[in-house]
Amino acid sequence: MKLFFQTATTVFALALGLAGCNKGTDSTMLAKVNQTTITVADFKKQMQDLDPQVQPIVATDAKARKEYLDQIVGYEVALQEAKRLGLDKDAEYKKRVDTYREEMERKVQEAMKFELLANLVKKELTNKITAPTDQEVKDYYTKNITRMRTADGKKVSLEQAAPVIKDRMANERQRDAFVEYVKSLKAKATISIDEKALASLGTESAEPSAHGDLKKPSAGAAAPAKEEAKAKKESAGK
């Protein structure tokens, strides 16, 4: 079985029992590579990086666990050799590590912001947003009947479309409520904008980046303005 190469890191920690190899504690040693110890906890952390479909196999199959541990040992041997050769002291390597660290920190900060905003919506808006009624879903379907077709042109029935329509309407209501809520917060806040500095960005944003592409605002920065503009456009069309 050569199936256990690591893929993209999964979002949630693995909640599996590791049957057959977790009779001790997380500090139990599974292997030792020279002076480095690989514990049950280390093994679990590595499993989090496996494809979700592969994780249950490693967690429940003794042979698969042994082969995966052998792969981890192989990685550790290679890493130790790289350090023995002093490759971890290489200037270019350190530069890349710093870049990765900064990028990961930025992603963590963005994730924390979105999580905080989600908590704000849940606390301040969720109970104030009414769920779409069956009649409203039916009206939406009737109004957009010409668009209710599959990719190959087949008509989609109200029963088939209802769950999707209801989710879309709920999301739109949440978005609109958030836009209005932000407007109320802005009205109470002290906000100052440097128009000159803002205007200067028009030239800077058109400059090619290091990769030759035009610089674009980050998704996190552009999203609120985009959603507010979209809401205004839809309100004007009603």
pLDDT at 207: 53
108: pLDDT strictly greater than 60: yes
Q: Tokens 């592409």 map to which residue?
A: 213
Q: Tokens 């400059």 map to which residue?
A: 207
pLDDT at 228: 53
φ/ψ region of 118 (left if φ > 0, alpha if ψ in -120 to 50, else beta) reads: alpha
CB atoms within 10 A of CB 186: 9
| Amino acid type, 66 | K
Rounded Cα gap, residues 218 and 222, in angstroms: 6
Distance of CA 213 to the CA centre of its chain: 24
- pLDDT above 70: percentage of residues in the chain: 75
State the Cα angle at 115 between 114 and 121, rounded to 5°. 85
Span 173-225, pLDDT tens digits: 999 999 999 999 999 999 999 999 989 988 755 555 544 444 444 444 444 55
In the chain, domain spans: 1-89, 91-124, 127-190+225-231
Span 142-178, pLDDT tens digits: 999 998 998 888 999 999 999 999 999 999 999 999 9
